Amino acid sequence: MLSDAQERVRFLRFMIVGAIGAVVDFGVMNLLIHLCNFSVTISGIISFLAAVTSNFTWNRYWTYPDSRSKHLFRQYGEFLLINALGLVLRVPILAFIDPLMRTLFSNLPLRLPFITPNTLGDNFTLALAVLIVMFWNFFANRYWTYSDV
C-alpha cells in the first residue's frame, strides 16, 4: 500500500503531466481555430484527443511506472474511456460557456494587441473546462486505470 506521501507525489506528477497536456490542448486548439478556421467546439474535441494521448504516455511511464499488470492497449482503452467521459463534461462547457465568455471579454474596455476578445473568451472557457475535467480524470484513473499500484 502506498503512503500518503507517495500519493501526493503521484498527484503532483499527474498535475505536471496535465500541465503538459494543457499546453498540447491549448496549442492544438488555437492552431485549429486560427489556421484552419475550425469552431471552438470542434477544435476543443481534437485538441482534447491530442492531449489525452500525451497524458497517457507521460502518466504510464512517469506517474505510474509500476502499473504494468494491465496490457498497454487495455490500459490505454481504460484511460481513453475515462477521458471520453470527461469529454462529455467538457463539450457542453465549451459550447455553452464560450459565447458568454466572448461577450464578457468583448464588453471589457481593455484591448490588447494581437489578442482578440474571442481569443480570450475561447481560452478562458477551455481553462475552465480543463480544470473541472482534471479532477474527474485524476480520481477515475487512479482507482480504475492504475488500480494495480
Q: How do the domains of the chain map onto residue ranges?
A: 4-145
What's the pTM value of the predicted model, to 2 decimals?
0.73
Nearest 5 degrees, angle CA 96-CA 24-CA 58?
120
pLDDT tens for the chain, residues 1 to 149: 568 898 899 999 999 999 999 899 889 999 999 999 999 889 988 998 899 999 999 999 999 999 989 999 999 999 999 999 998 998 898 999 999 999 999 998 877 787 888 889 999 998 999 888 888 899 999 999 999 88
Element at 109 (helix H, strand E): none
**Longest pairwise C-alpha distance within the chain:** 56
Nearest 5 degrees, angle CA 20-CA 24-CA 27?
130
Q: How far is 61 from 120, CA to CA, in rounded Å?
A: 34
